[in-house]
Amino acid sequence: MNTVSTDDRYLHKKFIGPYILKKTLGIGAIGKVKLAYHSKTNKKVSVKIIRKILFSKKPDLKIKIHREISVMKLMFHPHIIKIFDVLEDSTYLFLVIEYASHGELFNYLVKKGQLHNREALCFFQQIVSGIEYCHRYRICHRDLKLENILLDKIQTIKIADFGMASLNVSNELLKTFCGSPHYASPEVFSNEPYDGMKADIWSCGVILYALLTGKLPFDEENDNMKRLFNKIRFESLSIPDTIFPECKDLLLSIFIIDPSKRITLFKIKTSLWYKSLPLRRTCRNNFLENIHVTTIQNPVFIPDPDIIKFLVPLRLVSDQSVLIKVLCAKEPNLVRILYRQLEWRKMKMDSLQNDIIYKAIKRRKKLLKKKVYIKKKEIHSKIEIWKQPYKFKNYVVVKLLIKITISFFFSLDGITLCPLTSCCFIT
């Protein structure tokens, strides 16, 4: 993490690191989220400001925040919110994340009431693409809901809030109940050990149903949790006739109580309704980084301290010393794969944030504009030369042009084509 020397007085100036803080986007239990601009690139970002004093009062909160940072650092996908930077001082922790200007999908749905089939499918394809990416890295979101899905300025889906995320390592079952009860799968609700990936698929189904109907599939007045659980567990789901039959089949295959029989992401992607709309480019590519096999096979003897900082909170091993030993092991392992992914992402994000690269791009644009201006001057000068009186004494150009004409001869028998060729000299 980068350290920024700042205090409350500095914060009042609305400037933190290279970012200029602007209006407040939201206020939560642990801090604020502010809109900010990069001072050099003018790029808009969101800055999550967390008071560090809360970490001493709630040690679990510190673990949760650092795990969220580590999980977000692992991912680089067009439908997952990006984390650009982590800054801190003695009082605050600043998470600089991607700015989604159109806010929550929940608010968008409230305004529209419900979405047409095509728009709902477009959003659903993007959500599935992002969740598939998470699952490839064994990351379970565990808190998927309309409020945690954001829209950018061109209404592209951005999955956010990985505070409840967990790594599903070696197919181990999870035990912690988390997320919103209305989006939670039956196995999560009943406090049984569960597969986080299967639970995410159930939540995706709840989101899809809400997009198409404008209401949640399982709801209860006064938020009576016992009745809500009984609805989810025992009552059959009522699907309106306005929903396409192929989509009905998909929803019914998602809302299966037994997680082992629940549809997989692969089968969702091959379903008739899902394929009825051409995929966006961002959904066609799975955006899994092609980390070279040799980099995973080769031991990491001198690990990057910054990367180690983000691997430790994932709790793949007991402590940092064990983590380093695992990275040095001969056999490839999940820890090394994640290390290489963080290494790749660090290089990628450094190139995006690097001031030198930004200056080079700016200089290149100026040069291109200058060349266009020079070309325009050259064209103008050539026109001026062409307008000058022709000087026969210098040279005479002789060109042989072949002129081909086709004549039509009409007779009683029909039409006859007769090609004629003629030559002429032009000087």
Domain spans of the chain? 1-99, 105-284
CATH of 1-99 among 3.40.50.10330, 3.30.200.20, 3.40.50.300, 3.90.950.10: 3.30.200.20
* pLDDT: which is higher, 226 or 206: 206
Question: What pLDDT does residue 344 have?
Answer: 80
User: Which residue in this structure is represented by tokens 């998909």?
Assistant: 250
- Is the per-residue pLDDT at 206 higher than 50? yes
- Is the per-residue pLDDT at 407 higher than 80? no
Q: What is the DSSP letter of 257?
A: S
Q: Mean pLDDT throughout 47-51? A: 92
- Is the per-residue pLDDT at 8 higher than 60? no
Please give the structure tokens belonging to residue 303.
Answer: 């690990």
Cα 49 from Cα 389, distance rounded (Å): 73
* pLDDT: which is higher, 288 or 76: 76
pLDDT tens-digit series, residues 276-305: 999 998 898 655 555 555 677 788 989 999
Name, of 273-287, 380-394, 407-421, the range with top average pLDDT: 273-287
User: Which residue in this structure is represented by tokens 């009683």?
Assistant: 412
Question: What pLDDT does residue 5 have?
Answer: 44
Task: Look at residues 71, 65, 67, 73 and name the one whose alpha carbon lies nearest to residue 48.
Answer: 65
Tell me the average pLDDT of the chain: 81
Beta bridge partners of 168: none
User: What is the band of 409 on the pLDDT scale with cuts at 50, 70, 90?
Assistant: very low
* pLDDT: which is higher, 149 or 57: 149
Percent of the chain with pLDDT over 90: 42
pLDDT tens-digit series, residues 323-363: 999 999 888 888 888 888 888 877 777 665 555 555 665 66
Q: What is the DSSP letter of 29?
A: S
- Is the per-residue pLDDT at 117 higher than 90? yes
Percent of the chain with pLDDT over 70: 76
Question: What pLDDT does residue 106 have?
Answer: 96
First to last CA, the chain: 76
Homologous superfamily (CATH) of 105-284 is: Transferase(Phosphotransferase) domain 1 (1.10.510.10)
User: Which residue in this structure is represented by tokens 């977000």?
Assistant: 72
User: Which residue in this structure is represented by tokens 């003695």?
Assistant: 90
Active site residues per annotation? 143
pLDDT tens-digit series, residues 234-266: 888 889 999 999 999 999 999 999 999 999 999
Question: What pLDDT does residue 297 have?
Answer: 79
Buried b (16+ CB within 10 A) or exposed e, 205-226: bbbbbbbbbeebbbebeeeeee
Beta bridge partners of 151: 157
Q: 160 and 131 in contact (C-beta within 8 Å)?
A: no
Model's pTM, two decimal places? 0.76
* pLDDT: which is higher, 215 or 396: 215
- Is the per-residue pLDDT at 177 higher than 70? yes
Q: Which helix (H) or strand (E) holds 379?
A: helix 355-387
